[in-house]
A and B are shown apart, each in its own frame.
Chain A
């Protein structure tokens, strides 16, 4: 009951899903997929969100309760969460309301800035890789610099061949390496999916 039934659901359901790819019959395509799986999965989805909300809230509540280092900042988490949620639930999600105002003037600038920070840290990582002075790191950086230069007018001013070299890098060695990696990932995905379907891989069920 604790592990066998969930395992049976995955195995039997997995076989039906596999049949869904190959069998064009109405029972599989319409009855199973549209009438059963999609509505059921969608009805379950909000509870997964709720799990995330409760989990994160409990984590921050625990931080405040135990007075761990930097616990004070957890109040900002609750402030942001409660104000945004109330703004959405009470005021609605239409443009012009507080909910969208928070999104446009707080969430969006902060997340864009957070991602733009990575430009600095990637530059620093590139510098560290260059200091390693290994031939591999040099090849990596030369390819990166050519691709970067090809995207700005300055690159064309240095040499008119840079955009062509960059395109060649993307079309030939980059394609070959990505194709090799993708084939490996594909084989790994199929093997893992088969292991889950056959009940060999059970870590997703957790312990006990």
Chain B
């Protein structure tokens, strides 16, 4: 048995372990689930060490002697005080440092989510589709405006927004299902082509 076939068999085993959950929760699925979490954590830890710790912590401090970076490193260490009941307040310092950037998000969210969308929405209503988009946008926005009760004519108008959202959610649902199905097809192709056919070839020629 070649090393490639052995590797594929390992992949197939864990694929089937995860698929076994479709029948019911079982020890094979539980084992694979915990193994996946552990492997993902180990993978991320090594990547963080190699791509963040070495180039942005070790090299600047110990090779380039940028001693000032010892200060953020100490502040970063404060994260670990999260586990101490008496000193957990120290972990607020690195959190506060990362929360500073919220100032930029005021302007950036205003630009990307509001101004750009409004500019795209404010076009001459030249055809029925543009009219539908305009009505849809207004009614969806009003649907989430809870300061006025959704009753009477206003309620009926606002209700149009719900129907637009249902179509939008349906479209998102359809696209997501298709993305998941393409993953499923990929796994089945792997089991059939890379494992079953390879096994058949290895043992029966």
CB within 8 Å of B: which residues of A? Answer: 2-3, 5-7, 9-10, 13-22, 37, 39-56, 58, 70, 73-74, 76-85, 87-89, 93, 99, 101-120, 122-123, 126, 136, 139-148, 151, 168-187, 189-190, 193-194, 196-197, 204-206, 208
Contacts and interface: CB of A to CB of B under 8 A. Distances in A.
Q: Chain A: interface secondary structure? A: helix
A7 B32 CA distance: 43
Nearest to B16: A113
Contacts of A116: 180-181, 183-184, 186-187
Contacts of A144: 170-171, 173-174, 177
A189 to B, nearest CB: 4
B63 to A, nearest CB: 14
Interface of B: 7-8, 10-12, 14-15, 17-19, 21-22, 30-50, 52-53, 56-57, 60-61, 66, 69, 71-73, 75-77, 79-80, 82-83, 88-89, 92-110, 112-114, 117-118, 120-121, 129, 132-141, 143-144, 161-178, 180-181, 183-184, 186-187, 190
B73 A174 contact: no
A31 to B, nearest CB: 13
Q: Chain B: interface secondary structure? A: helix
A56 B89 contact: no
Contacts of A110: 14-15, 17-18, 32, 35-36, 39
A3 B162 CA distance: 43
B183 A16 contact: no
Given A74-B34, A109-B15, 8 more contacts: A13-B101, A39-B66, A39-B69, A46-B48, A50-B79, A148-B177, A190-B114, A205-B95
Nearest to B48: A49
Contacts of B21: 117
A208 B22 contact: no
Contacts of A49: 44-45, 48, 52
B131 to A, nearest CB: 10
Contact of B92 (A2, A120, A172, A187): A2
Given A17-B104, A107-B43, A111-B36, A177 B136 contact: yes
A83 B42 CA distance: 8
